[in-house]
Amino acid sequence: MGKYRSFVMFGIAIFLALIATVLIVNWLQTKAKGREAPTLQTQEVTVSKVDLKWGTVLTREMLETKPFLKNSLPGGYSNDPSSLVGRVIISTINANEPILESKLAPTTLKTGGVAAVVTPKKRAVSIKVDKVIGVSGFIHPGNRVDVLVTIQLERSQTPITKVVLENIPVLAAGPETETKGKEEKASPVEVITLEVTPEEAEKLALSVTEGKILLVLRNFSDTEDVVTKGMTIPALLASYSSNGPSISPKKVIRKAVASKKPVLAPVPEKQAPPIVVEKIVEKKVEIEKPVEQPPKPVFVVELIKGSKMSEVKFERGE
């Protein structure tokens, strides 16, 4: 009887354990269902199939749609590729990148090229450059450059080099560079188009006409303007020299040459050139003159000899 009771108690324990297990499993499944993330909603967005350069007129073959999360969509997107056909892009767009309204020219502009990307109230100016002036072909659209000019001043035989334009955007840069793996091979640059204001266009035109220009490539993050005094040959030769301060081109002296033409030579700002002055000393020679003595008194005596009469003068002695 005792054994039978033990089996009954053991069976009841197992039954209660099974019930508890079932309840725990159901509770865990319900808990897991409550923690499931909600279904993410997506939106079809128009993207570019290939890399596109600025000034390109969009065609239907360049566009496609891809799903993007609604919660992370940028402003100005489009979900209808046909609505973007004929629009002109004003910024480089990479493949699979959404085409936003901020990267498109106004709808009134249907012609691509440089005119589509010029900022309002600015001008596009093209200059002819060689491989050296074009920084060995490494200037690309979107870069920023400084413009230096070497020019000959009037009435001076000393040229001066000066920065005349700074932080100028590059719109076009002739042939593109060819990229092979991680190495970039530069090709010669023939024409570079810069975006400038009307006043900057005047400076650039005068620099190209009257002097020789040089482009200096600058970092994208470096936007600070730098004020310089310009560089002349005397100031250049005074670099890393302990002979004194730099030479200013403003103070000059004239030197005589065989051709009798004046030659302007630079003079240091604080050190005046040695001036040789020939002094003529006039020696006065005084001639001593005898002191005039007062005349001695003279006595006149009349001498009568017969019928003749004469006068005889005698000086009074001291």
**pLDDT for 256-286, tens place per residue?**
344 444 444 454 555 555 554 444 445 555 5
Question: What pLDDT score does 132 carry?
Answer: 72
Q: Which residues, in sequence order, are bridge partners of residue 65?
A: 46
Give residue for tokens 């310089």.
228
Chain centroid to CA 275: 42
Measure the CA–CA gap between 65 and 70, rounded to whole angstroms: 14
For residue 170, give the nearest of 115, 211, 126, 111 by alpha carbon: 126
Residue 247, pLDDT > 90, answer no
Phi, psi of 123 (to 5 degrees): -130, 155
Question: By three-state DSSP, how is residue 314 classified?
Answer: strand
Asked whether the beta carbons of 137 and 189 are under 8 A apart, the reply is: yes
Q: Give residue 264's identity as a one-letter amino acid code.
A: L
Mean pLDDT of 289-314: 68
Residue 89, pLDDT > 90, answer no
Measure the CA–CA gap between 76 and 101, rounded to whole angstroms: 5
Give DSSP secondary structure letters for 120-177. TT-EEEEEE--TTTTGGGT--TT-EEEEEEEEEPTT-S-EEEEEEEEEEEEEE-SSPP
Which of 3-17, 52-66, 177-191, 293-307 is least confident? Answer: 177-191
Mean pLDDT of 292-310: 69
Top pLDDT among 270 and 71 is at 71
Question: By three-state DSSP, how is residue 212 classified?
Answer: strand
For residue 207, give the nearest of 196, 222, 217 by alpha carbon: 196
Measure the CA–CA gap between 220 and 205, rounded to whole angstroms: 25
Mean pLDDT of 120-138: 81
Q: Which residues, in sequence order, are bridge partners of residue 144?
A: 169, 218
Mean pLDDT of 139-167: 87
Question: What pLDDT score does 194 carry?
Answer: 92
Give residue for tokens 């967005």.
45
Q: Locate CATH 3.90.1210.10 in the chain.
A: 42-116
Question: Which architecture does CATH list for 42-116?
Answer: Alpha-Beta Complex (3.90)
Q: What percent of the chain has pLDDT over 70?
A: 69
What is this structure's pTM? Answer: 0.51
The number of CA neighbours under 13 Å toward the Cβ of 152 is 6
Cβ neighbors of 49 (< 8 A, separation 6 or more) are 61, 62, 63, 64, 95
Phi, psi of 101 (to 5 degrees): -65, -30
Asked whether the beta carbons of 139 and 169 are under 8 A apart, the reply is: no
